[in-house]
Amino acid sequence: MRKRNGQFNPKRKMLKIGQCNFHELLCLSSQAQYGGNPEHKRNPGDFNLTPPSVPRAGKSLCDSVKVFTKKEDLDLLRKGIKTGLVSDRVVGQWPKNVWSVMDDETPLEAQLESVEQGSYHGYPMQKEDPFCEEVIEQWRIRSERTKS
């Protein structure tokens, strides 16, 4: 994969924990859908994308972190919403971005692709992205909060 030019979106901000309505987020998470994007796939899996896969240089690939099924992606997306790892920017009722963290602490980012369907596509965050650490830290804090 080709390296990015070092620019990451500096406008990304996570909703502060005190601003999260966890009941609303729980309801929203059950409605969220995962669509996928062929640019982030080498192996098309069960995503039914058109075209099935078109890995693009500079894009992080889901295959690299061993996420191969739509169910896995949907579960991770919904966990991120329930945990409150959502953007402070909203389109309709949907957060523009959602973050989640895999069991091995790999941070993931999802972007809203359809307001009408509440559908997202996601990808692993690049290690060079300075926002990675915040995602991991907030995941630890908020995951503990939602367990109790």
Q: Where are the domains of the chain?
A: 17-37+69-147
16, amino acid identity: K
114, amino acid identity: S
Helix (H, G, I), strand (E, B) or coil at 98: strand
Query: According to the model, what pLDDT value does residue 95 have?
Result: 98
For residues 92 and 115, the answer to whether their CB atoms sit within 8 Å is yes
How far is the C-alpha of 57 from the C-alpha of 77, rounded, in Å?
Answer: 24
Q: At which residue do the structure tokens 């191969």 appear?
A: 68
The verdict on whether omega for the bond into residue 51 sits within 30 degrees of 0, i.e. cis, is: yes
Query: According to the model, what pLDDT value does residue 35 have?
Result: 84
From the CB of residue 39, how many other CB atoms can be counted at a distance below 10 Å? 18
Give the number of C-alpha atoms closer than 13 A to the C-alpha of residue 144, restricted to the C-beta side: 5
- Which helix or strand (DSSP H or E) is residue 117 part of? none
Query: According to the model, what pLDDT value does residue 51 have?
Result: 52
Q: What contacts 2, CB < 8 A, 6 or more positions away?
A: 57, 58
Query: For each of the chain's 148 residues, which pLDDT tens digit applies?
Result: 334 455 788 889 999 999 999 999 999 999 999 886 656 566 666 566 555 555 556 666 666 667 768 899 899 999 999 999 999 999 999 999 999 999 999 999 999 999 999 999 888 998 899 999 999 999 999 988 766 5
For residues 125 and 76, the answer to whether their CB atoms sit within 8 Å is no
Pairing of strands 33-34, 119-124: parallel
Angle at 25 between CA 22 and CA 26, to 5 degrees: 85
Q: What's the whole-model pTM score?
A: 0.83
